[in-house]
Amino acid sequence: MLVRYVLALGLGLLLAIAVGSPANAFTSGGWDGEANFDGNGRFRDCTMTASFKSGTTLAFIISRDLDWGLVLANDDWKLQVGRSEAATVTIDARDPITSTAKAVDARGILVPLQNSEPVVDALRHGTLLTVASAFGRASFQLTGTQDAIAALAGCVTERLAAEKSATDALRQSDPAPRAAPAQPFDIEAPAARQFVGKLAALDDAAAKQPADAERLFAGNDAVRFVAELLVSAGITDYELINPAKNPMPNFDVVWTYPNGIIGALVAYQHKESVDLDDAAGVVIADDQKHCQGDFSSGQKPSEPPPAFTVRRLFTACHTAEQSVEIHYALLKTESGHLIQIAHLNLGDATGDVATADNPFLQTAVLQNFK
């Protein structure tokens, strides 16, 4: 059934996100983290990344030796690899931290940081991070970093503990094992360069994905549309997820709010024959099918302008491990386009997910949907 194919985007997809990530990956406060290993499988470092509206991706790195660093990457940069410049890192009104910015790739720079309590405390509790050097100046809103940095440090601790356990087990089975050659972490070479290279590879892979004939948007058009839509709705405090790292590929664009709510949008064309009541029923039935706990759902009232047909609904699934609540807005335009907006609370959001779609249903905002 065509409607089921294009609208089955709920709990089944979320469950895949929750359990389908690699064992070395983690997420916290809108940051994506992972443990990284060298060519011999030895733990090297943990990184966490977030993409910003400027097109720049910011990453924090902690090595196995507890060296800290920042990586800034942007596909539009054309840097001279190996060039180093004096840099300052400023967090809110605190005294600037002096460092050195080094171009480790044509698209990325590395800024080492001192592993000290004042620096770590500033990163965890600060709100605005600014990196300035001869390469340029970039500022980032630090949302969710307190828990994310704790998770990043925990990633290193867990990996080193697992490595020690494996070594101890090996020693018990072989009292005199041959020592592996030492491979000290070089924060100026593999970690940052491989991170930037990985990011570029993901972007290239996303660009090569075949277009879906039913999707309304192609390429970066969806990102531009959502950015304009958010501005039209009066929403300025959000972060778009890098399309190459989209954890919900059945949606065109995914974004996050500082309160932990996740927003997502997908748009289809040539859907004149789709009945929104049927579509709403499909969404609810699919979410119920994938819920392994207590399920609830319902439709919500809406009063859109005459040119638009809107259905609002919600689903919720509660298990012993997790509570997931999703609020949907399904819109059908005079042109026959079908728009699905979803707002999700995966159990840790502090905002009211039930009203998160209200700004998008204002007359002035709905006029963006032609």
Show the domains of the chain with their CATH numbers.
2-14+212-366 (3.40.1000), 38-204 (2.60.40)
Dihedral angle computed from the Cα positions of residues 227, 194, 201 and 239, in that order, rounded to the nearest 10 degrees: -10
Q: What per-residue confidence (pLDDT) applies to 39?
A: 60
SS (H, E, C) the chain: CHHHHHHCCCHHHHHHHHHHCCCCEEEECCEEEEEEECCCCCEEEEEEEEECCCCCEEEEEEECCCCEEEEEECCCCCCCCCCEEEEEEEECCCCCEEEEEEEEECCEEEEEECCCHHHHHHHHHCCEEEEEECCEEEEEECCCHHHHHHHHHHHHHHHHHHHHHHHHHHHHHCCCCCCCCCCCCCHHHHHHHHHHHHHHHHHHHHHCCCCCCCECCCCCHHHHHHHHHHHHCCCCCCEECCHHHCCCCCCCEEEECCCCCEEEEEEECCCCCCCHHHHHHHHHHHHHHHCCCEEEEEEECCCCCCCCEEEEEEEEEECCCCEEEEEEEEEECCCCCEEEEEEEECCCCCCCHHHCCHHHHCHHHHCCCC
Averaged over successive runs of 10 residues, the pLDDT of the chain (370 residues) comes to: 34 36 66 76 81 84 85 86 88 89 84 83 86 89 84 85 64 46 39 55 48 72 82 84 72 88 89 84 81 87 67 89 88 86 89 90 78
pLDDT for res 214: 81
pLDDT at 183 (0 to 100): 35
Give the pLDDT confidence score for residue 314 in this predicted structure. Answer: 92
Whether pTM > 0.75 for this model: the answer is no
